[in-house]
A = this chain, B = another copy of it.
Amino acid sequence: MKRIGVVDTMFARVDLGSIARRALGESGTGFRVDRRTVPGIKDLPMACHALFDEGADLCLALGMPGRAEYDRTCAHEASTALQAVALRAGRPIVECFVFETEADGDRALERLARARAEAHARNAYAMLFRPRDLAARAGSGRRQGFADAGPLRRRRPAGSGA
């Protein structure tokens, strides 16, 4: 039984943790979720650290930085620390940040946040249980929350002669 840590924030304006947990549950079985909520994104790294200490095999860190330039700095600092925590633990953290500036209007932002949290949760599941699913999509221009960009060149069917 694998363990997936899910950490989100009170600062976020969408309940990303619940969305991610649901998407994980719909992806498959063989794991249990340990969930934590912290005040803001800068508190995510040490919450992941604690979850790794308790046995998590992977953590999903979810947050919604605000609109100010300073919020981007905070996101950068949180991100850097998440990488350091993962390295210390020797286990991956899947980071899912949604910036308030990425969408116009509350509805669009909420939809984006929901779609991105679901996509990252599915990725987290694949990283633990189905790494070959990821390998099959190498270089395919996948996006999380927005429409996929797709590959720059269509792959030709094997033996097409082109």
Contacts and interface: CB of A to CB of B under 8 A. Distances in A.
Interface residues of A, number: 71
A55 interface: no
Complex copy number for this chain: 5
A151 B84 contact: no
B94 A43 contact: yes
B79 A83 contact: no
B106 A153 contact: yes
B13 A150 contact: yes
Interface in A72-104: 72-74, 76-77, 79-81, 83-88, 90-95, 99
A35 interface: yes
A151 B114 CA distance: 13
Nearest to A155: B15
13 contacts: A11-B142, A12-B139, A13-B140, A15-B151, A36-B135, A38-B134, A39-B120, A43-B92, A53-B90, A73-B76, A76-B77, A81-B83, A107-B152
Interface of A: 8-18, 35-40, 42-43, 45-47, 49, 53, 66, 70, 72-74, 76-77, 79-81, 83-88, 90-95, 99, 106-107, 109-110, 113, 120, 123, 127, 131, 134-135, 137-144, 149-153
